[in-house]
Chain A
Amino acid sequence: MGKVITITSGKGGVGKTTATASLGVALALQGKKVVAIDTDIGLRNLDVIMGLENRIVYNLVDMVEGSCSLQQALVRDKRVSGLYLLPAAQTRSKEDLSPEDLVRVCDGMREEFDFMLIDSPAGIEKGFHNALAPADEVLIITTPEVASVRDADRVIGLVEVAGKGPIQLIINRLNPVRVRRGDMLGTEDVLEVLAIGLIGIVPEDEQVLVYANRGISVALDGRTPAGLAYWNIARRLLGEDVPFMVLEEAPSLLERLTRFMRPTR
């Protein structure tokens, strides 16, 4: 029986879509059958992040309305076997779907897929409730900024009220150097304020944009810091006990010396 994981944040632009695509890739590369579902009807973007925008024929709304079958709506990823996209409709609105539709769609895929990753739209309106309805687990993503953490807190409250969970947190775009310098909220600060469990810390990484430009997931490259972080989150989702990357400790003398000699990165 597959598991439905909804990725949401409240605030826009904090990395929901990138996280959904990256976790999809990392889970599929570990042998799981995964479908990434874009529920941002009218503002779809998961297709371009996954590099599948030219292969869409039907979409989620078509499927719900019975204009196509599930198999017709799914787009298979050519690079990663076992990974599929269920795209959003671009010319429709969130009102064209109901939470019950999403529950029905996901229940229809549980036999075939190990993971159904739902990319939620920003906000806390209809689209968010559609994305939340079928969730077995919820991943909240936030950046270490006041506005983003505040919105994450609001969303956590709404998820709790809806009786959904477990809820776990991804902290995205953490810059350990700035945290040490006192210019950025750190992991501990965010966890103390939000008081929920942590599933991963994704360091700020210039490569994320480079990969997004090309329509390739950063998780395809486990050597990039962000790619590695998503791999670790995927392994934790699979039940492995993976220690968190040590990012925020004070730099050792050796680290400081090597940084001095090699000032790149």
Chain B
Amino acid sequence: MKILDRLLGRRRPSSREIAKERLQLVLAYDRAEISPSLLETLKDELISAISRHIDIDKAGVEVSLTQSGRRSRLIADIPLLSSQASSGSRRGRP
């Protein structure tokens, strides 16, 4: 099974990799002392503040925490709705 998965390029992540990922996520919140619900509040307020000035794809907004060294970083990914290409596939990364 494992060999077949590997041949088809669908490798299941090892528990080591999962542990590291979960650890990085939990530490991002711990270090910043931000709860997931505060992150939701921030996201809602960002959406309302920014959409007062420019058109954004509200459903596509993502606010997350990442780590660099021992520092947490708040990342907001806010897709803009441009008037020419309203298909909404362009993304603006701040």
Segment at the B interface, from A18-26, A178-186, A226-234, A252-260: A178-186
Task: Provide the main secondary structure of the chain B interface.
Answer: helix
Contact B23 A183 (CB under 8 A): no
B13-50 contact mask (Cβ, 8 Å, vs A): 1 or 0: 01111011011101100110000000000000000000
Within 8 Å of chain B (Cβ to Cβ): is A238?
A: no
A and B contact pairs by CB, cutoff 8 A, 23 listed? A146-B19, A146-B22, A149-B23, A150-B26, A150-B30, A153-B31, A154-B30, A156-B70, A157-B31, A181-B14, A182-B15, A182-B17, A183-B15, A184-B15, A184-B16, A184-B19, A185-B16, A185-B20, A189-B16, A192-B20, A193-B23, A195-B70, A196-B70
- Give the interface of A toward B (CB within 8 A): 145-146, 149-150, 153-154, 156-157, 179, 181-186, 189, 192-196
Q: Distance (Å) between the CB of A151 and the closest chain B CB?
A: 10
B69 within 8 A of A: yes
Number of interface residues of B (CB under 8 A): 16
Pairwise interchain contact A193-B20, C-beta atoms closer than 8 A: yes
User: How distant is the Cα of A189 from the Cα of B23 in the complex, in angstroms?
Assistant: 10
A115–B85 Cα distance when bound, in Å, is: 70
Besides A146-B22, A185-B23, 16 other A-B contacts (C-beta < 8 A)? A146-B23, A150-B23, A150-B27, A150-B30, A153-B30, A153-B31, A154-B30, A157-B31, A183-B14, A183-B15, A183-B16, A184-B15, A184-B19, A185-B16, A189-B19, A193-B24
CA distance A261 to B69 in the complex (A): 44
Q: Which residues of B contact A186 (CB under 8 A)?
A: 16
CA distance A194 to B27 in the complex (A): 9
In the complex, what's the smallest C-beta–C-beta distance from B93 to chain A, in angstroms? 24
Residues in B neighbouring A156, C-beta threshold 8 A: 70
Separation in Å of the B15 CB from the closest CB of chain A? 6
* A193 adjacent to B16 (CB under 8 Å): no
Question: Looking across the interface, which residue of chain B has its beta carbon closest to that of A153?
Answer: B27
In the complex the two chains form, is B16's CB within 8 Å of A146's CB?
A: no
Question: Separation in Å of the B66 CB from the closest CB of chain A?
Answer: 12
> Which residues of chain B are near A181, meaning CB under 8 Å?
14
What's the least CB distance linking A160 to chain B, in Å?
Answer: 8
Residues from chain B with Cβ under 8 Å of A182 in the complex: 14-17
Q: Which residues of A contact B24 (CB under 8 A)?
A: 193
Q: Report which residue of B15, B17, B24 has the largest number of chain A beta carbons within 10 angstroms of its beta carbon.
A: B15
CA distance A196 to B27 in the complex (A): 14
The answer to whether A189 touches B27 (Cβ under 8 A) is no
Q: Which residue of B lies closest to A184 (CB)?
A: B16
The chain A residue with its CB closest to the CB of B68 is A195
Complex formed: what's the CA distance from A55 to B71 in Å? 48
Tell me the nearest residue of chain B to A180, going by C-beta. B16
Task: Give CA–CA (A162, B39) in the complex, Å.
Answer: 28
